Structure 1
Amino acid sequence: MATAAVVCAGTDPSRATTLGERISAVACRENALWYRPFINLHGQLASMALSEAETGLLQDGATPAWKRVAEYWRGSGLLWGMNSFPGAAACARAVNADFGSPDCRAFLIDRPWSAAFISFVLVRAGVPGFRPSARHIDYVRDAYLSPGSSPFLFVDPDIALPTAGDLLCYARGTTSFGYAGLQAWIAANPDAALAMHCEIVTRSADAHTAYLIGGNVLQSVTLRMLGLNRSGRFWNLPRGSDIGCSPGNQAVCNFNRHDWVVLLKLKPSLQAVPVTPIPGQPVEHGKCCVQCVVGAGIPRCPASH
């Protein structure tokens, strides 16, 4: 079986030849930073090193795990819209702090950050027409109701061919939607909230396996493996619930089992747009930065640069 190291070998976005590969590279780089945690084809968590609010250092040897999650909020441009939630303002101040911020770390635990992670990756990749959001349903809805302006097409995950840069999404909760059910729900509720989760399809190193990366998957940036058929389409996407999961009933325990409802297909004609720095983000000059963020992986420019 291919490993995450092989799947995400190309983690330099500047070397990507397509927008999809660039999105994949940014996501893979984040998974590598978290020591490549992954869920295997059997739905088992096979590797895990750190979780969202820990002070332990990531793979770069410099960034505490909690600060990287704070950067997903900040680097996506979403943090300033969360100021009404306790601890959000502390996260804005804590990025360059040398101490662990308990208020910020509480915010990171209490507020789901999977959509902030997706937004961070797509902003960093320069996806044109993408609107960052703290809710997955917003860009899912955009793809369905505004297909002309959205960078994604709203397609059936059981039929479409997944490729790098696509988003595979599931609906949370007790209601089972399916693809047709989600379409009907959005049409009837064009402005309502819906608990969802999306993950980024990366380049496949195995013809029979799809590799996806999501944030806040078991409190980390985690790679997921899903089966493909001979045509390269998802094969028997695991659906259902884990109700009854226990040591005595392990057959129903599967972290891959969800209500997979839609594949947001990246439009193949799209080209990356220049990334406009968000206030407080690194400002790059060649291969160095002036306003540096700890853990961004960019060295500080000399004073005379």
Structure 2
Amino acid sequence: MPRFPLPRSSLAPSCALLTLTALAGCAETPKPSPRPVQTPVAQYRTGPGPVGADDHVPDFASRNFVPFNRQDVPAIAMREWRMFGSPVDDDDPEARPDAAIPALKPERIPGLWQRIGEYWWIGQDPYETEVNWTGKTDADGTPFAPENDGRYAWSAAFISYVMRVAGANDRFPYSPNHSTYINAAVSGQSPGLRAHDPATYIPKLGDLLCVGRGRSKTVTFAMLPTSYGFPAHCGFVVAVNQNAPPFGHELSIIGGNVDDAVTLTHVPTSPTGALIGDDGKIIDNRYPWAVILEVLYDADFEPGAGQ
């Protein structure tokens, strides 16, 4: 699969991101929580299970050394993207070939398979089997064949990891499946998410763009919430209001397990930043975006950023 450098104009922070950085020092720094925030420790089909302190989560996140904020989430996602070599893929996902040498998938190479293990370990509820998975081994530490990596898909684990480390704590439904938090947002059961129809909402930095995968690619906002789990994919919006190759007006998202890596994708938009064109249809012919999840942050900026 060809990869190309991110265009210089796209690498430059957007106006919105520059504004966040410039104003970061304006907010007053709150005091951290005296103890970790309690979150569910296991998943239950009937709803959240028992709660407790999750010792897999770093203290700075579970005690909110800084408020859960819109500046940190894109920054954490971009940090992970750089760790994987800053790959960019704007090809149609239906046309992406498998890796020529499966053993050389980024998720399986030294240093990165362990990092994916951290996505599972930190992102998932601590009593779940998935917390012990890595980029190439199951819960018992047994390597699985590269061609079976679909059984250990980690894109939702990546989203959960970023939200945990950013300090979302009990306001996000952590799960190995994107549909869990999509359905929770649409049904109003997640205090940290608000679901929007892509036809009526313009994405902001730190929001999540979500789409169904495979047979579920036909899932639309009107069909949500579903009474069942469905394959999906979501990515964090890390830049907006861009005017650069390959689409001109565009935004950028970062998601996990795209080409077996943390990968950036450009998304075409209208001049106003909307995903819908004048004809009322999704502009992006690769992704029929089903829902935009607005993340309800406690602050737009990290107090004292860079100090």
TM-score by length of 1: 0.63
CA RMSD of aligned residues (A): 3.9
SS at structure 2 position matched to 1:200: strand
Aligned AA for 1:33? M
Q: 1:121 to 1:15 in 2, by over 3 A?
A: farther
Structure-2 residue corresponding to 1:178: 220
Aligned AA for 2:232? M
Of 40, 51, 76, the residue aligned with 2:123 is 76
Of 85, 89, 98, the residue aligned with 1:39 is 89
Contact 2:78 2:254 in 1 (8 A): yes
Structure-2 residue corresponding to 1:197: 233
Find the aligned partners of 1:265 and 1:14 in 2 and give their Cα distance.
20
Find the aligned partners of 1:16 and 1:41 in 2 and give their Cα distance.
36
Structure-2 residue corresponding to 1:217: 258
Deviations 1:238-267 (A, max 9, x none): 566xxxxxxxxxxxxxxxx13320000122
Find the aligned partners of 2:272 and 2:156 in 1 and give their Cα distance.
30
SS at structure 2 position matched to 1:73: helix
Pair 1:258 & 2:287 matched: yes
Contact 1:85 1:107 in 2 (8 A): no
SS at structure 2 position matched to 1:132: coil
Deviations 1:264-295 (A, max 9, x none): 0122555799xxxxxxxxxxxxxxxxxxxxxx
Find the aligned partners of 2:146 and 2:184 in 1 and give their Cα distance.
31
Shift of 1:114: 0.5
Structure-2 residue corresponding to 1:267: 296
Find the aligned partners of 1:68 and 1:104 in 2 and give their Cα distance.
18
Shift of 1:132: 1.0
Aligned AA for 1:203? A
Deviations 1:219-250 (A, max 9, x none): 1100010112121212453566xxxxxxxxxx
Find the aligned partners of 1:74 and 1:107 in 2 and give their Cα distance.
20
Q: 1:109 to 1:3 in 2, by over 3 A?
A: farther
Shift of 1:71: 1.1
Find the aligned partners of 2:117 and 2:234 in 1 and give their Cα distance.
19
Q: 1:209 to 1:134 in 2, by over 3 A?
A: same
Deviations 1:170-197 (A, max 9, x none): 11232512221234xx2xx1xx211111
Q: 1:217 to 1:267 in 2, by over 3 A?
A: same
Identity %: 25
Question: What 5-or-longer segments of structure 2 have no aligned partner?
Answer: 1-6, 25-67, 244-248, 303-307
Q: 1:230 to 1:53 in 2, by over 3 A?
A: closer
Question: What 5-or-longer segments of structure 1 have no aligned partner?
Answer: 57-63, 92-100, 241-256, 274-305
Deviations 1:86-135 (A, max 9, x none): 943345xxxxxxxxx63598986631111000000011111251121111
Shift of 1:83: 5.7
- Greater shift, 199-208 or 165-174, is seen at 199-208
